[in-house]
Structure 1
Amino acid sequence: MKGKEWYQTAEVAEEYEDKRFSRGGRLIDRREKEAVSSALGDLEGKKVLEIACGTGRFTAMLAARGAEVVGLDISDAMLSQGREKARVAGLSERVEFVRGDAARLPFPDGHFDAVLAMRFFHLIPNPDRYLREIRRVTDGRLVFDTFNTPSTRSIYNWLLPMGSRLYADEDVHAMLDRTGYKLADSSHDFLLPYGLYRAIPRALADGFYRIESELRATEFLGEFPSVSYWSARVS
């Protein structure tokens, strides 16, 4: 998995949200949480597994919406940040953080009503393997995101130290078919890569986003979103 060692360092965990979700990154955070909330729907009383939960950015949100959440990550340092976030929000009783490998999930078959995997599929070399393991532990919904090609992300990818796995729409449809899922819904966002938004102030990011939203509504540029959100069910 790309960046496996990098994500586990204490320094990265401590600075992760400040670097990625401050300034213009707050817009990214808001848009991602809106997409996840819409895709998962009503969570009251549901058991939800979040894979690659990191610092608990989504974990706490899911618990606040009434879910019983297990956040799984390979990084102890990230999990420590997540536990503190849940504690501060008064959600510790609804959240459990577990260190583990998403390729070998430590849960029984059909244990969860839904699984969330954000910022995950761009890091893994063999998505089918992980999808089959996720399918084992849920009979319900899977929500995940991908970085896309063709898009401006392809250019930005050259500058990243780890790079990212990029997906075309047909790649996602094919891997869902291969692993026993049926696509329920999808949405697409951001023409410009995330890195640009993180580098600029929030007010400027909001202005850029308004302009690109109009461009994404056009027939041509609407075909090149840099990120997609997918909602699938076991077929």
Structure 2
Amino acid sequence: MKGQEWYQEHDVAEAYEDKRFSGGGRLIDRREKEAVLDALGPVEDKRVLEIACGTGRFTVMLAERGADVVGLDISNAMLAQGREKARAAGVQDSLDFLRGDAGRLPFPDDHFDAVLAMRFFHLADTPEAFLSEMERVTKDLVVFDTFRRFSTRSIYNWALPMGSRLYSRSEVDGLLESADLELRQAWHDWVFPYGFYRQLPGAVARPFRILDGTLGSLPGGNALASVSYWQTSVE
């Protein structure tokens, strides 16, 4: 798994959200949460697992909406940040954070109503194995995102210390077939890559986000997107 050691550093975990989701990064945070809620649908009283939950952005959000949620991550430092976030939101009794390996999930078959993985598959060295494990432990939904191969992310990718695994549509289709998952719906977004927005103050980023949405809404605009959100279900 790319970056496994890096994500376990305490200073990385402590600065993670400030670096990624302040300034223009707030637009990213808002859109990602919107995409998760759209893909999962109503979550009240549903049992949800988040893979690679990191600092608990989505885990805590889902707990606030009444989900019985478990967040799993390999990094104790990230999990510590998630627990602090849960306490601050007053939902620490409504969720569990566990340290574990996404390739060997410590849950029985069909244990959850939905499994979520955001910001994960771009680091995955064996995506087929991870997706198959996610399929095994859910009764219904598997929701995840990928960075697109033929997009501005390809240009940006060379500057990243760890790089990212990028996926074409045919590669995603192959992953779903290998995991016996059926695609229900997909959303494609972000003509400009995430890293571009994170470098901008919020007031400067907003006009670019409007332009981004305009370009994406044009005929063929989906082909320009750098990120895809996938809602899939067990066949």
3-state DSSP of counterpart to 1:173: helix
TM-score norm. by structure 2 comes to 0.98
Corresponding residue for residue 208 of structure 2: 208
- Within 5 Å, give how 1:13-28 maps onto structure 2: 13-28=13-28
Corresponding residue for residue 47 of structure 2: 47
Corresponding residue for residue 89 of structure 1: 89
Change (3 A) 1:220 1:185: closer
TM-score norm. by structure 1 comes to 0.98
Q: Which amino acid aligns with 2:94?
A: R
- 2:178 matches 1:168: no
3-state DSSP of counterpart to 1:229: strand
Counterpart Cα distance in 1 of 2:8 and 2:166: 23
Cα deviations across residues 72-127 of structure 1 (Å, max 9, x unaligned)? 00000000000010011010111100000000011111110000100000001111
Corresponding residue for residue 231 of structure 2: 231
Kept in 1, the 8 Å contact 2:132–2:178? The answer is no
After superposing on structure 2, the runs of 4+ consecutive aligned residues of structure 1 that deviate more than 3 Å are: none
Counterpart Cα distance in 2 of 1:63 and 1:113: 14
Kept in 1, the 8 Å contact 2:143–2:229? The answer is yes
Q: Which moved more, 1:95-104 or 1:167-176?
A: 167-176
Cα deviation, residue 220, structure 1: 4.0
Q: Which amino acid aligns with 1:154?
A: S
- Within 5 Å, give how 1:185-224 maps onto structure 2: 185-224=185-224
Corresponding residue for residue 66 of structure 1: 66
Corresponding residue for residue 56 of structure 1: 56
3-state DSSP of counterpart to 2:43: coil
3-state DSSP of counterpart to 1:203: helix
Q: Which amino acid aligns with 2:179?
A: T
Kept in 1, the 8 Å contact 2:54–2:78? The answer is yes
Identity %: 61
Cα deviation, residue 219, structure 1: 2.2
3-state DSSP of counterpart to 1:164: coil
Q: Which moved more, 1:216-225 or 1:51-60?
A: 216-225
